[in-house]
């Protein structure tokens, strides 16, 4: 029984040489900037108390983390997938300790949910630290065209018939399986997966490995925790690229105020199951972020104006905005109108519920608005980009280093 538990879940292809180590500066991007916005967010979560305690680390994640330590010695490259809206918060400290000495490519998936200027800011910040990054959207194949060339550049093949092994790691539901599926689909269009399978299986008589190369791609789902064990796939040929899709691994706990902010942000983008956090709690934090963001404070400037208009339209706050503007002008305050976003989440959710006709039964005779369903709608609008482009993490760059980007 002990041997069965410790046995790797996927047979890794033979590697001819010991993989080279990636020499980094020893620093990790695991913190959030200590600014006023962060302190307000922590105070908000502290006020909620133990009602919003996040703890989700099931047994398959512990097993996956243990197998990752055992199998990574056979990998030439690590692909770490993060959510583009959380460039720092979607980095797992436990995984960081394991892969820090490996060649690594950081893929910021769902990049379509942040603005072009935000994408440039994130890329500049990470490249200044000597990291290799790529912005992708797994639902748009054209954004993945540069991934395979970057993989070959970072981990060049030594032999035409020996696959280069890459591990794909990250938090749950950041898009690891979707990226692998998109890469396989692009390769199948060029018939390179079949060629890679034929080349890779000529060096072994293992029938199980042959079947593995010919099987379907990884299972993809909208909820976190769909992938529960390691799976190996060929994503390109000539020379073949062998990719291992690993289960998403969550942080073991979110006990401190800083970690609770990270956990709430991960929940907002769908990395943690909603019922473990609470939809109304997530809606309260999302409203706090929208009201305290720089884009909201400077909503009359540049691209922020268009995003603010999109936010008002999605929430159906046109009437409140016009009324606030008229009141401001009557008081002689000019065209600058007061923020239409309510400061109380119950008020905003009640507005959404009344607008969409959402009602919940509180007793046999009294009917009230359904705040829970309204919170689900509010969060879904954010996740699908209907509220505009929002970068949840604070990112800073050193403009003097722009010319030294690699």
Q: Which residue has the higher pLDDT, 222 or 102?
A: 102
Which tokens belong to 363? 């007793």
Query: Is the per-residue pLDDT at 9 higher than 90?
Result: no
Query: For the segment 196-238, what is each residue's pLDDT rounded down to a tens digit?
Result: 444 444 444 344 444 444 455 555 545 554 554 667 788 877 7
Query: For the segment 143-158, what is each residue's pLDDT rounded down to a tens digit?
Result: 998 999 999 999 988 8
Residue 158's alpha-carbon distances to 15, 148, 283, 343, in angstroms, are: 9, 16, 51, 60
pLDDT confidence band for 248 (50 / 70 / 90): confident
Q: Please, are residues 68 and 138 in contact by the beta-carbon 8 Å criterion?
A: no
Which tokens belong to 164? 């280069």
**Mind giving me the DSSP string for 16-77?**
SSPPPBP---S--------SHHHHHHHHHHHHHGGGG------HHHHHHHHHHHHHGGG-SE
What is the rounded distance in angstroms from the CA atom of residue 213 to the CA atom of residue 404?
Answer: 41
> Which residues are within 8 A (CB) of 218 and not within 5 positions of it... i.e. 6 or more apart?
176, 177, 180, 181, 227, 231, 233, 245
Mean pLDDT confidence for 370-389:
93
Predicted confidence at residue 399, as pLDDT, reads: 46
Q: Please, are residues 122 and 109 in contact by the beta-carbon 8 Å criterion?
A: no
Q: Give the residue from 341, 326, 330, 333 showing the smallest Cα distance to 296.
A: 341
Query: Is the per-residue pLDDT at 63 higher than 80?
Result: yes
Binning the chain into helix, strand and coil, the percentages to the nearest 5 are: 50, 10, 40
């Amino acid at each position: 029984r002990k041997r069965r538990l410790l046995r790797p879940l996927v047979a890794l292809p033979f590697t001819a040489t010991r993989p080279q180590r990636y020499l980094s500066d020893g620093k990790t991007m695991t913190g959030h900037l200590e600014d006023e916005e962060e302190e307000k967010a922590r105070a908000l979560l502290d006020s909620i108390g133990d009602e919003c305690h996040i703890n989700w680390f099931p047994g398959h994640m512990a097993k996956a983390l243990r197998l990752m330590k055992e199998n990574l010695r056979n990998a030439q490259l690590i692909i770490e997938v993060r959510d583009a809206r959380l460039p720092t918060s979607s980095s797992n400290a436990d995984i960081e300790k394991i892969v820090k000495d490996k060649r690594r490519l950081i893929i910021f998936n769902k990049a379509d949910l942040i603005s072009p200027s935000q994408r440039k800011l994130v890329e500049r910040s990470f490249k200044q630290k000597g990291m290799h990054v790529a912005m992708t959207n797994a639902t748009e194949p054209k954004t993945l065209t540069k991934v395979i060339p970057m993989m070959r550049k970072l981990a060049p093949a030594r032999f035409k018939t020996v696959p280069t092994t890459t591990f794909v790691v990250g938090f749950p539901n950041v898009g690891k399986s979707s990226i692998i599926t998109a890469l396989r689909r692009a390769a199948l269009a060029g018939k390179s997966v079949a060629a890679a399978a034929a080349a890779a299986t000529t060096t072994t008589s293992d029938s199980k490995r042959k079947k593995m190369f010919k099987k379907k791609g990884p299972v993809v789902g909208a909820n976190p925790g769909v992938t529960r064990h390691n799976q190996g796939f060929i994503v390109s040929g000539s020379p073949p690229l062998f990719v291992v899709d690993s289960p998403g691994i969550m942080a073991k706990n979110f006990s401190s105020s800083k970690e609770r902010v990270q956990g709430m942000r991960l929940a907002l983008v769908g990395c943690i199951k909603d019922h473990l956090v609470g939809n109304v709690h997530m809606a309260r934090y999302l409203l706090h972020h929208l009201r305290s963001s720089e884009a909201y404070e400077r909503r009359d400037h540049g691209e922020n104006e268009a995003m603010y208009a999109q936010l008002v339209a999605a929430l159906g706050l046109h009437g409140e905005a016009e009324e606030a503007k008229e009141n401001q002008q009557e008081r002689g305050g000019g065209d600058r109108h007061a923020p239409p976003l309510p400061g109380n989440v119950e008020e905003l959710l009640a507005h959404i519920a009344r607008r969409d006709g959402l009602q919940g039964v509180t007793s046999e005779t009294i009917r009230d608005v359904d705040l829970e369903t309204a919170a689900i709608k509010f969060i879904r609008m954010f996740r699908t980009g209907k509220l505009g482009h929002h970068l949840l993490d604070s990112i800073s760059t050193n403009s003097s280093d722009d010319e030294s980007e690699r």
